[in-house]
Structure 1
Amino acid sequence: MSVPDYTFDDDPGASVQFDRLCELCTKLFDSEAAGGTHLSHASSEDPLYRSHHDIRALEKSADAGCHLCSLIFGQIDLSDLEQMRKDLDEAFVPSHRQIGILIGFNGDSCSLQVDGYMSSQSSDLRDPDQTSSTDQQSWSKIAELDINPEEQDSSNKERSASYSNCSGTTLMQIAQWMKECLTSHTKCFEIQTVAATRDILPLRLLDLAPALLPDTIRLESTESLPFHTVYVTLSHCWGGVCKTTLTTSSLAIFQSGVHLSILPKTFQDAVLLTRNLGIRYLWIDALCIIQDSNEEWSHEASLMGDIYANSSLTLSATNSPDSEGGLYHSRSPLSVWPCRITAKSDYFPVDKLVVNIPRLVKEKAMEPLSTRGWAFQEWLLSKRTIHFSRDQVRWECHCLAASQVHPRGLEDHDVDFYGLPTKNIIKLLRDEDATPSRLWMRIREEYSQMHLTVATDKLPAFSGIARMVHKVLNSPKEDYIAGLWKPELLTELLWEKYSDENTRAINSTHSSQYIAPSWSWASIDGPFWVPFDRDYYKLDRLGVYAEIVNAKSFPTNDGFGAVHGGFLRIRGLLCDVELVSSPSTSSDPSGPDWRASFSKGLALTHKWSDASLDNILYTRSSLSAKNSFCFLPMFSSSTGPKRFDGKLIGLLLENAAGGVRQYRRSGVLELHGVDKEALLSHSSGLVPLDSGHGENADTSNLSIIEIV
């Protein structure tokens, strides 16, 4: 087996003609009368600027060389159209379906909006006696392109006709970004030492020294290397079984040197690019950690955040589903580079226009690596990252987010691929105005949407982020317990699992394997969110009805990683509650409302309840379900000036098998339309525990319970 020849020569491939338009796209810019109605003024009866009636026709036009159709087709996520089909099929049996594309100008002609529509001649599933068919339609915006006057366009004027990112131009651009960051980005220099909580090297590195045979690499222990050795890291999807990994039996072979040809494609690409950048050492988890040693893996996993934070550069195989996918991908240059158009329409103040893919990069959400839990931490903690995306190569550091199309930088750098503040996150954590508690919640919420091959990796794959936050906020190490921070514990306990807003089906359940105590967000498989935070309760707060007596988790071997147990002891009022689900009285068909009935311990009138249950799946077919829990009130607040504008929120608990007054978390319950006077007078049975309230009140009904 031979190694691919990576000389990074530009390959123009087939002849590419930029700026050529098909007949339909030409009409978009010819005149208002020829095209139709401006999208911002359009009604359902108005003709829009119309393009291809079928998605395949759009693809065919792109393949034929229409530059604009290529840009549009490259931005469309076909899963959006599939969701439209599912929406129609839920209620209708399709007998004929048409998927179409409508294109029009949005706003002040600053963007080209692409709407997908699906027309289906269908029979109504809800009326089996119906014999006639009806036309049903579903609409959705599926893509948007930027339009700018030519003189305001900041995209790269030198458009490459190469069909691959593996080109000399690519290498020169990466080297230029790297040089600029190392020599000019003072903020990067100031911040880069913060993410790394320990000045350490990985246990081993791959030595790519040119003194070796050109197609050979060697695994080297870092014991004899200086602490500031420059190395590159690779972030990648394993995608199941990786064909070549480091094991106990292969350690000696790798230490003596192996040929590149035995490595998966992604690893080969990373080795050759690192060499071309003039860097000698490379770290790849599969080749630098002994994979059949649980002890070594556990130790190195606890250092993973520092390994990426101390790396000089991270190569992110963003669009590769496995280790054979490679860094580089073929794509039409017409789907990437801007289209320059001469307009003949009064819509535009100038004739010379540039149509471009959006500067604010959203595509990463559609790429394989962006869904992986370990990769989330690797991205967040790396000083510099090169993303090898499906269409182009992108750069990201603390000071610059750029791409091949926009090499001088993208706008809106404060929002990035994951919807989070980018590398400036460290600065924001230090900034009081940035409300670190909210930012921390955002990080955890985003991480909870990631996938892990091994469920028990949930806290280890997040440990580097937790360690970095601990360092930035200068908090005691013991304040971190199973994914939460003690100073914010009362409000952090009120996380809710994420529910699908259409069916209200719960996408998160407690894991079948032990990962964390039930009160930790890490205990559930799936996403969660925190609908309120500490700052919320500073406004119109009526009472705090619970206090933490003791909180502890039992780490396996790393205070920020896996745990094998934990408990909370909370002082408060515990009362029995029965939740009954019933059809919504509103026009919202999404699911039931919950009615909370208290048998004892809480004398409180409320108008309606909102329950978030960790483990129960409720749909339209289970509207009569009754569920008995214990309710631990925690906070009350005022949502308005009227008497019944009160709100009470707390934890739903169920008995645990461990002993008397020991419980597990089952969810969160919110009571709305509560009598505020009853809360303030304590006639409800609730006694505020926060200072300044209820000093002379009877607290005999309070007790200490344990949640595990």
Structure 2
Amino acid sequence: MPLCATCDSVDIFNLLLICLSQCRDKQEALRVSDGETYDNRLKNYEGSEVKHHGDIFEIEKSSKVCDLCKIIFQAFKRTNVQDVEVARGLQMMFRTSYSKIEVCYNTDAKEGLIKLCGLDVYMDEANVEELFRVGQIKEDNSPPILKIMEKDPASDRSLDIASRWLKNCVESHSSCRPPTEFQKPPRRLIHVGNKTQNLFLVETFPNLQHVEWLSLSYCWGGEPSMKLTNGTMNALKNGIPLESFDKTIKDAVFVTRGLGISYIWIDALCTPQGDNRWIEEASKMNEIYGGSTVTLVIASSDSIKNGFLKKRELKYIPVAYSTDKVEDHRAKLFLSSEWDDSEREYNGAWSKRGWTMQEGLLPNRLLHYTDSQIIWKCCEEQRFERGITERVADIVSETLTYSDVSDIAFGSSLDYPLMSHSDTFRLWYDLVEDYTPRRFENISDRLAAISGLAKVYGGMIRNPTYAAGLWKEDLIRGLLWHVEGTTLIPKHPASNTSTFPNFPSWSWASVGYEVVKNDLKTSNSLRALSEIENTHIDLDDQRYPYGAVRSGSVTITGPLRRLPRLYNKKWASAEASMSKLEHYISEIVEKESQGSVAHKYSSPPGGHFSVLVMVGDIHLLHLLVLEATGGIVKGVNEYRRGGILKLLYVDPSSYTSPEVIAKLEKMEASSTALLGLHEKTNKTRMTSNAVFMEVNEGNWAKETVIIV
């Protein structure tokens, strides 16, 4: 649709020039570290406001014939205004604000202009670069002009953008180069050839150097049409036409060729399927992905059948402008809705698959294909096809990203002694928290699919002992994980079916697809009150200590108290004969069971439960709750891990202290204790203190137990 007369009369190009000036001044102010200078310079642009339609109702009427009005009215509907009449008569305005064009209401009141929505401005890449040059500004993470994207991600222009990103990184970023020890190629690679050649499998040799390969990270989403097996090995070596492969493989080969890379590593075609030989390759993921020239991430597709080079739905509204009023030279710029930050995330199947986590964290260069654009990530920067560049050092993220482990993956080591600092294992617990909700077709792969990261991490912290997803040197703290939302009652334990026979109960791998947290990951003030005597891990293959396990046990000694049950239904009765601790645990079990307490908590099949004090200080205790299996090994009772208890003692005189209240609220929010908050009664607080004192002063005898 053409623009309405009102939209066509807005001098978008003049607003854009003002945005360029604001962006230049902002960059100059940042360069001299003088934010106040930029704020003062903004005053030079006061009055850069243009009247639009009389109110939103005029825009609604015009939206039937004008694309720009349609965008603005859709933004208004998303605000969910309860009484639309409040907008009647409010003049609509265009303005520039911090290098962006915004659509606003003019309230003619103290509030002044109120933003309704933002508009992004796009131009052809050559025009963007020319205006940036004339305006003396650099591309950054908030440019006033974005680069119009191709509808076809398989176009020459789109591939040229990706190629330039790769070339720039290879030539300019020394920190992104794979370490020498990772530059040996994998045992098998696929040679992609050219348009007239078939794909064929190449078996490399350990001493072969200077081979560049692209590694592929994608979702199978079903069985591939072609896999490497004993039956297909010779055919793949002899060469198979590209048309014989699934769409995602064909698209990946197309991109690999476009980047000028001769080899691609694809798990289904380079790792033997259907036998245990894949275990060897799984143990080398850090080398395969970390040593590749670039990793191609298929972020937008959930199946190998679908492909990813699909035409995009681009909604650009063309706006004519004149750069030379004398000759009336008419060119084009484009407007669209302000970019949604969610477009920079990867919320599809790829980001939820277990195997892809280390595939996204181990490489030093990644090229993502999403539904909307291609995105480059390396150790130094992140680039978006739409024309935004961000330095990795400036990116603030609440979730774990590959940049958090890039230094680990490429040879860095911690500069403080092992075990002397609480941060030694902090990043590992962050990795586990991010990893545990990810899905598998076969969850028994859970430890194997993180083995590459474990191997790298172990090397970083000077080769400690890996133990089924935890580390022996930090096992006292490591055992005190809990599932988000519960501390005692597991939601969906993986070990309760024959599908998950190999995970020890003390490993976070033993629970279902729940977020696993460790509240002690940043703590270094608590004293260990128990001691790890021994760990025993029965590996699936002894050659791969970071891989899958068959079983495992931990022998530990510490202050222990046996309990006949975890739950007594009479816990709320004043006449019930039970300790404060038993009362407290029963209350938690009932709450976390949500009204349906399992029979075993009242009458365990092995005869009893036990509570083991793990760490503590004068204000805080962390306990491990264990369930007896009934087994005895050389006179030592055998248990399964149940959950944890966290007991806090608060001086009654400090109940109103903001610091104490904040600490209590944090504990309540993380579901690690049922302690009284400021709005609850002093009686509840005194009860929690009484439980702490009972345990702290109990002088429990130390006992050795085995946890399986």
* TM-score normalized with structure 1 length: 0.66
Indicate how the Cα distance of structure 1 residues 353 and 666 shifts in structure 2: closer, same or farther if over 3 A, else same.
Answer: same
Alignment of 1:204-353 (within 5 A): 204-210=188-194, 214-223=196-205, 226-292=208-274, 294-334=275-315
Question: Which one of the candidate residues 359, 363, 368 is aligned to 1:387?
Answer: 368
Indicate how the Cα distance of structure 1 residues 484 and 626 shifts in structure 2: closer, same or farther if over 3 A, else same.
Answer: closer
Q: Aligned Cα RMSD in Å?
A: 5.1
Q: Does 1:530 align with 2:512?
A: no
Structure 1 position 161, deviation (Å) = 5.9
Q: Does 1:356 align with 2:338?
A: yes
Distance 2:549 2:153 in 1: 43
Match of 2:173 in 1: 185
User: Sequence identity, in percent?
Assistant: 26
Distance 1:575 1:63 in 2: 75
Distance 2:5 2:289 in 1: 42
Indicate how the Cα distance of structure 1 residues 72 and 438 shifts in structure 2: closer, same or farther if over 3 A, else same.
Answer: farther
- Identify unmatched segments of 5+ residues in structure 1: 1-14, 37-48, 82-103, 115-142, 342-351, 584-592, 639-645, 689-697
Distance 2:466 2:356 in 1: 22
Paired letter, 2:455? R
Structure 1 position 611, deviation (Å) = 4.9
Please tell me whether the aligned partners of residues 199 and 240 of structure 2 are also in contact (alpha carbons under 8 angstroms): yes
Indicate how the Cα distance of structure 1 residues 373 and 652 shifts in structure 2: closer, same or farther if over 3 A, else same.
Answer: same
Of the structure 1 ranges 247-256 and 670-679, higher mean CA displacement relative to structure 2 is found in 670-679
Match of 2:353 in 1: 372
Distance 1:378 1:687 in 2: 49
Question: Which one of the candidate residues 478, 491, 494 is aligned to 1:506?
Answer: 491
Paired letter, 2:508? W
Distance 1:617 1:72 in 2: 42
Match of 2:476 in 1: 490
Pair member with larger Rg: 2
Distance 2:509 2:102 in 1: 39
Please tell me whether the aligned partners of residues 498 and 506 of structure 1 are also in contact (alpha carbons under 8 angstroms): no
Match of 1:515 in 2: 502
Indicate how the Cα distance of structure 1 residues 397 and 655 shifts in structure 2: closer, same or farther if over 3 A, else same.
Answer: same
Structure 1 position 473, deviation (Å) = 1.8
Match of 2:110 in 1: none
Please tell me whether the aligned partners of residues 226 and 245 of structure 2 are also in contact (alpha carbons under 8 angstroms): yes
Match of 1:84 in 2: none
Match of 1:480 in 2: 466
Alignment of 1:18-29 (within 5 A): none
Match of 2:627 in 1: 654
Match of 2:644 in 1: 668
Please tell me whether the aligned partners of residues 187 and 206 of structure 2 are also in contact (alpha carbons under 8 angstroms): no
Secondary structure of 1:559's match? coil
**What CA deviation, in whole Å up to 9, does each residue of 1:355-394 have, x standing for no partner?**
63256865312x1111111111101001211110111000
Q: Does 1:444 align with 2:428?
A: no
Distance 2:158 2:230 in 1: 38
Match of 2:20 in 1: none
Paired letter, 1:217? L
Of the structure 1 ranges 242-251 and 379-388, higher mean CA displacement relative to structure 2 is found in 242-251
Structure 1 position 155, deviation (Å) = 3.9
Structure 1 position 171, deviation (Å) = 0.9
Alignment of 1:560-571 (within 5 A): 560-571=546-557
Match of 2:593 in 1: 618
Distance 1:272 1:392 in 2: 17
- Identify unmatched segments of 5+ residues in structure 2: 13-48, 81-91, 104-115, 123-134, 322-333, 604-608, 653-685
Structure 1 position 685, deviation (Å) = 6.2
Paired letter, 2:476? L
Distance 1:471 1:619 in 2: 43
Match of 2:324 in 1: none
Match of 2:89 in 1: none
Distance 2:433 2:266 in 1: 28
Structure 1 position 289, deviation (Å) = 1.8
Distance 1:156 1:631 in 2: 61
Distance 1:508 1:228 in 2: 47
Q: Does 1:550 align with 2:534?
A: yes
Distance 1:437 1:224 in 2: 33
Structure 1 position 157, deviation (Å) = 4.0
Secondary structure of 1:172's match? helix
Distance 2:594 2:209 in 1: 57
Which one has the bigger helix percentage?
2
Match of 1:12 in 2: none
Secondary structure of 1:295's match? coil
What count of residue pairs does the alignment treat as equivalent?
559
Indicate how the Cα distance of structure 1 residues 408 and 627 shifts in structure 2: closer, same or farther if over 3 A, else same.
Answer: same
* TM-score normalized with structure 2 length: 0.66
Secondary structure of 2:199's match? strand
Distance 2:494 2:5 in 1: 51
Distance 2:170 2:306 in 1: 30
Paired letter, 2:639? Y
Distance 1:411 1:70 in 2: 36
